[in-house]
Amino acid sequence: MAADSTAAIAVDPSVGAAADLVQRAPDGDALLNGVRLEQLLETDDGRIATPAYFYDLDAIAAEVRDIRSAFGAQRHLVAYAVKANSAGPIVRAVAGEGGGADVVSAAELKLVRMLGVAANGVVFSGVAKTDREIDLAIGDGASGILAIQAESIEEIPRIDARARALGRIARISFRVNPGIEADTHAYIATGHDEAKFGIPRAEIGSAVEAVAAAPNVQLVGVGNHIGSQLTVTDAYVGAVRMLIPVFAACETAMVQRGRPALEILDCGGGFGIDYGTAPVGSGRAERAADPGGTPRAQEEKSRVVRPAEFVRALISEVDRAGLSHTRVVVEPGRSIVGAHGVLCASVIMQKRARPNEAERRWLMIDAGMNDLIRPALYQALHRIEPLRKRDGESIATFRVVGPVCESSDDFGAHELPDPPPAHVVLRDAGAYGFTMASQYNGRALPTEVFLSGGKVVSTLRSADADAWVRSRVG
């Protein structure tokens, strides 16, 4: 097939939730959802300017199906963590497969409700919910959302007061801090004693008393979330084993006080993805602590488990505890979208320098830390590849950097063709990419392109740099 063909290319039928999502055409062009990414950037009619994110909606839907199938007959809810990627086409794809939503703001709650997620399929997390956000959660639908996650004892009387003012009963779930250290980056570990999240396990008795004193609050469940980018099940299962007795004790306490039995056991998310092996020759890699794309990931790659394996391990504990009647909630985000989105960038130029005997080579691209902040924030490393890969090309090691005026605007060292390609693709960028993007240095937010069935089905274009200038003039 010619490189400029507009038809989608048939890909390996194994492509789906667990496959290597960026594939190659016979001539070496990078494919996503069977579409040549280079071709989309070169189309004269409606050309997509870089930097731009591309997402495979079919693979994202397959992730949700894969997770749901692992539950078997167990009542459950896959509450997609919207903060990972809040794009409308993605949330619709999740909702279309029966998924719900885990939200952390009023805006996210409004968004998911507009996109078809039912009120009883939403949980609301966060340590500092405003009265307005609490009111929105309590007042939504016939009886409010599925659960407001209470992250402190002090939050319970606040929720009670807002429910009383609205003439409603607020449905809450305790987010329990289990005091468990997860093997992940410090910034995304949330279940240890020093974390701001959740009610300490030792204080759950006091939380129960706070609910007993709050006539407008119904405790519907307990849950926890120990962190993100978990690559093995050990800590996750340990947290579930801690949570189940807390669930039983809280349910007994509520029933003894004439309150309804609990409904949900929320085991959180944090399921990791395989970011691939670390780029070569990167000093940043040696300092990195994020298991997604560091040298440690190279050792762990063979044991990065799939989300369905987390669920099966979870259900084994639930079955052992006799909780088949309970609705089990999980909150995956990264594992649904991370591997199924890429960031495409144009190569601006290369730079060579010899400050000493060793030559240094940089490759400047038009995507920066404002477009994908994970490398700067978490010292994470994403695989970077040419959009067009040809046999017999010379290869050199380049340090890939962006245009932002910060030394941390650095994507690490990568082996790329020499001379450099016109465009590169930063892989596994579907989660915490656009949602954490900014207009730092007066740069426009990237375009987002959504693929399904081998074609573009939606495009979200952000305001350009001129709009930023107008907004700052005042």
Nearest residue to 361 via CA among 294, 415, 319 = 415
Asked if residue 267 lies in contact with residue 224, where contact means CB atoms within 8 angstroms, the answer is yes
Give the pLDDT score at 195. Answer: 67
Q: Give residue for tokens 């007993």.
A: 212
Same domain flag for 99 and 226: yes
Which spans in 53-203 are helix H? 57-70, 88-96, 106-114, 131-139, 155-166
Averaged pLDDT for residues 395-400 = 97
Name which of 108-112, 216-220, 272-276, 360-364 the model is least confident about.
272-276
Q: Can you give the pTM of this predicted structure?
A: 0.89
Name which of 282-296, 307-321, 402-416, 447-461 the model is least confident about.
282-296
Residue 5 in any domain: the answer is no
Same domain flag for 330 and 413: no
Residue 184 has pLDDT above 50, yes or no: no
Same domain flag for 98 and 50: no
C-beta atoms surrounding 232 within 10 Å: 17
Q: Give the per-residue SS3 of 249-291.
A: HHHHHHHHCCCCCCCEEECCCCECCCCCCCCCCCHHHHHCCCC
Give the pLDDT score at 185. Answer: 38
Q: How far apart are CA 5 and CA 472, in angstroms?
A: 42
CA 28 to chain centre: 29
Q: How far apart are CA 288 and CA 223, in angstroms?
A: 30
Asked if residue 395 lies in contact with residue 417, where contact means CB atoms within 8 angstroms, the answer is yes
Give the pLDDT score at 10. Answer: 54
Give the pLDDT score at 424. Answer: 97
Buried b / exposed e along 253-289 (16+ C-beta atoms within 10 A) = bbeeeebeebbbbbbbbbbbbbbbbbbeebebbeebe
C-beta atoms surrounding 202 within 10 Å: 10
Domain end point (choices 301, 336, 371): 336
Averaged pLDDT for residues 52-69 = 98
Residue 65 has pLDDT above 90, yes or no: yes
Q: Is 358 exposed, middle or buried (0-12, 13-18, 19+ CB in 10 A)?
A: exposed
CATH of the domain at 124: 3.20.20.10
Q: How far apart are CA 349 and CA 412, in angstroms?
A: 16
Same domain flag for 306 and 162: yes
- Higher-scoring residue by pLDDT: 181, 14: 181
Residue 401 in any domain: the answer is yes
Q: Give residue for tokens 């960028």.
A: 429
- At residue 187 the predicted structure's pLDDT band, cuts being 50, 70 and 90, is very low
Longest C-alpha distance within the chain, in Å?
78
Name which of 249-253, 271-275, 325-329 the model is least confident about.
271-275
Asked if residue 413 lies in contact with residue 400, where contact means CB atoms within 8 angstroms, the answer is yes
Same domain flag for 462 and 384: yes
Same domain flag for 101 and 247: yes
Q: How far apart are CA 150 and CA 214, in angstroms?
A: 13
Asked if residue 230 lies in contact with residue 271, where contact means CB atoms within 8 angstroms, the answer is yes
Same domain flag for 329 and 343: no
Residue 197 in any domain: the answer is yes
Asked if residue 64 lies in contact with residue 100, where contact means CB atoms within 8 angstroms, the answer is no
Among the listed residues 250, 267, 344, 405, the single catalytic one is 405
Domain end point (choices 309, 336, 363): 336
Is-catalytic flag, 405?
A: yes
Give the pLDDT score at 188. Answer: 40
- At residue 228 the predicted structure's pLDDT band, cuts being 50, 70 and 90, is confident
Give the pLDDT score at 304. Answer: 78
Q: How many domains does the chain have?
A: 2
pLDDT tens for each residue of 319-330: 999 998 999 999
pLDDT tens for each residue of 125-174: 999 999 999 999 999 999 999 999 999 999 999 999 999 999 999 999 99
Same domain flag for 449 and 359: yes
Residue 405 in any domain: the answer is yes
For helices 57-70 and 88-96, the axis angle rounded to 10 degrees is 40
* pLDDT over 70 percentage in the chain: 86
CATH of the domain at 400: 2.40.37.10
Residue 385, SS3?
strand
Residue 293 has pLDDT above 70, yes or no: no
Residue 453 has pLDDT above 70, yes or no: yes
Residue 14 in any domain: the answer is no
Residue 286 has pLDDT above 60, yes or no: no
Same domain flag for 329 and 345: no
Same domain flag for 41 and 83: no
Residue 278 in any domain: the answer is yes
Q: How far apart are CA 448 and CA 54, in angstroms?
A: 6
Residue 292 has pLDDT above 90, yes or no: no
Averaged pLDDT for residues 337-342 = 97
Distances (CA, A) of 114 to 86, 111, 136, 244, 436: 12, 5, 14, 34, 22
Same domain flag for 52 and 63: no
Domain end point (choices 336, 354, 376): 336
Residue 31 in any domain: the answer is yes
List residues bridging with 151 in a β-sheet: none
Distances (CA, A) of 55 to 135, 304, 338, 391, 454: 34, 22, 9, 27, 12
- At residue 225 the predicted structure's pLDDT band, cuts being 50, 70 and 90, is confident
Assigned token pair, 315: 């259900």
Distances (CA, A) of 436 to 108, 158, 429, 430: 14, 30, 11, 11
Same domain flag for 52 and 129: no
Please give the residue range of the domain that contains residue 311: 59-336
Q: How far apart are CA 244 and CA 158, in angstroms?
A: 27
Residue 29 in any domain: the answer is yes
Name which of 1-15, 95-109, 237-251, 416-430 the model is least confident about.
1-15
Nearest residue to 159 via CA among 209, 216, 120, 90 = 216
Give the pLDDT score at 44. Answer: 54
Averaged pLDDT for residues 18-45 = 83
Detail the DSSP E strand segments found in 366-444: 384-386, 395-401, 410-417, 423-426
